[in-house]
Structure 1
């Protein structure tokens, strides 16, 4: 009997007590305090790619469309109408706080005060829904069809019309492909007969707090994560010294680097086939044409580096000198198996791999001079640059 009791005692004490992750007293807190906690817990910064296209029917039958700028939204503000549609694609774009409780949902809707209709596109579905935005925190990566006075400018007007504070766009991400794929960069005043279009363009450019220049390089057939996987499989500890891309929208700025070896990896970065200064010059020339007091703008410009990959597993020089190449955030690819909890072939990093991007000052791209003439600038392709001595911010994607 004594031995049985002893055995039972050992069995009971060998298992640690279960730790509760729930704060059971939360429902009994004052409502005002609960709402403050919800608001503090809601993720703030997100990078959201929005594609603005003409409705398919409008491409061929513009005369059949309703008169524009005759409708009002629930806020009583005039909106452009339905000449365009906006598509958003991202993993876990809608906040989980929208589904927790009525209080959490109310807090999330309060923080993300702009409620604008969009189409949410997934791998196997497309549904019309509402996009909830906070212009002070969300960075919008915009891509638009031509002509932009029937897509992008209408969207910018509507974004402000759906904002209870009447603010609109404050943080923008732009890449060279999207900037050159439509007629935005070519616009002159005579091209915009509607006064509201000229107004919203000038106001938006003048009030931008941040502009991220996405230096993106692409390979037409290879996935970024697949190429990074080859290096991960060949590395000793499964770590890359630099961040690689994820597909979630929410991110958090950490400030420090992702791991040992980052400075060395940044000493000779191959900038790919496109000179990043081309986008900087084109953007400056465009803004100067629409904002007379360009030099007085307080916009914070950043060079956005979303991911790192390698050309060839067998090329030791390429493995030691990572280069950039294009893979739009949220467009394809999943996190590796060790990041999702699923079994797979990728090694688990010993110290943790960063999934995110770098933000560098635009000076890291090199001098562009005072001239707005692109032909006067000697562009460079395939050149290497030392980024290790520039201040930088690491941002990591969060669930």
Structure 2
């Protein structure tokens, strides 16, 4: 979010990123569009970032269609939060939503809660009307996802991982694409018991601490909120990312090539910057990656019975994080997660 004077007196400008953020029903015909606009009753003026083939740094004006009872919002406020986050919440509730409800389901990361000046804002310094909209919104939330995305955890190749000296392939770790829509399946139906014994978690306790401090500071009591720990694997250096079946399949093939030690350029992202200083320095080191498929544990692996990959994320109860262990490798087998599958066109 960035500050910008808008037509309804907003001091914020909502920047929306992601692929396929608008329902296809809006483009089918007049009848489907009318039904979609009724369902997505909250119409948020915004700027879309990296829409279609446009560069990520380019924004296009538009409208985000939103259903508070159905959708989750991930809000990353910039400085100053009185003009971004708090102002957005006020207008979401009182300007954009004809039912005057606003936000019911929130997804939040450490940076969302602490990567701004929220900790410096005193509630008494906020306009009373905006303050009430903000605290009322926090008080009415139904669900909150605490986000943790990691670029490690599927292939752990010994000491180079910085986590363990062991070699581990966690095929069940969900992979997050760029698409925002998902379906919650309930308990993960895959045979993931062994993989749950070795789950990489980088961010866990801090986001919960910041959230609790936020509620205390703003004198909000919301015992009805249902909390989940959102955990997923986020691929690094994949250009525009995974956004459809084709890019998902290409990424899996590339991952398999790395695991088997196959040097292949068939899936190389044409937009990968091979002229960067980082890339040249890495190539100059000429460090050979261990070949995971040749490890004693995996060289006779039966791929027919291996756990199938999932694109989406896991949802764990917060009790899964209630431990003193500071290790990044956790045994989560006591807390079988819910699986959410992302929609891939």
Q: Taking structure 2 as the reference length, what is the TM-score of the superposition?
A: 0.71
Look up the match of 2:242.
334
Indicate the SS of the match to 1:266: helix
Alpha-carbon spacing, 1:178–1:134, altered in 2? closer, same or farther (3 Å): same
Conserved 8 A contact 1:239-1:353: no
The alpha-carbon deviation at position 256 of structure 1 amounts to 3.5
Note the residue ranges of structure 2 that are not aligned, 5 or more in a row.
Answer: 158-168, 258-302
Q: How does 1:177-326 map to 2 (within 5 A)?
A: 177-192=111-126, 194-217=127-150, 240-257=171-188, 259-260=190-191, 262-272=192-202, 274=203, 276-292=204-220, 294=221, 297-307=223-233
Look up the match of 1:156.
89
The alpha-carbon deviation at position 143 of structure 1 amounts to 0.4
Aligned pairs, how many? 278
Alpha-carbon spacing, 1:280–1:156, altered in 2? closer, same or farther (3 Å): same
The alpha-carbon deviation at position 285 of structure 1 amounts to 1.8
The alpha-carbon deviation at position 180 of structure 1 amounts to 1.1
Tell me whether 1:396 sits opposite 2:330 in the alignment: no
Q: Deviations over 1:248-287 (max 9, x none)?
A: 1110011242633x21111132323x4x112212211210
The alpha-carbon deviation at position 184 of structure 1 amounts to 1.6
Which structure has the larger Rg over C-alpha atoms?
A: 1
Tell me whether 1:85 sits opposite 2:13 in the alignment: yes
Q: 1:134 aligns with which of 67, 77, 80?
A: 67
Q: How does 1:42-81 map to 2 (within 5 A)?
A: 52-55=1-4, 79-81=8-10
The alpha-carbon deviation at position 197 of structure 1 amounts to 2.0
Indicate the SS of the match to 2:76: strand
Conserved 8 A contact 1:242-1:308: no
Work out the CA distance in 2 between the residues paired with 1:331 and 1:53. 25
Q: 2:309 aligns with which of 342, 353, 378?
A: 353
Q: Taking structure 1 as the reference length, what is the TM-score of the superposition?
A: 0.62
Indicate the SS of the match to 1:263: coil
Note the residue ranges of structure 1 that are not aligned, 5 or more in a row.
Answer: 1-51, 56-64, 72-78, 229-237, 310-326, 368-377
Work out the CA distance in 2 between the residues paired with 1:255 and 1:341. 25
Alpha-carbon spacing, 1:239–1:366, altered in 2? closer, same or farther (3 Å): closer
Alpha-carbon spacing, 1:198–1:300, altered in 2? closer, same or farther (3 Å): same
Conserved 8 A contact 2:177-2:312: yes
The alpha-carbon deviation at position 149 of structure 1 amounts to 0.6
Conserved 8 A contact 1:139-1:173: yes
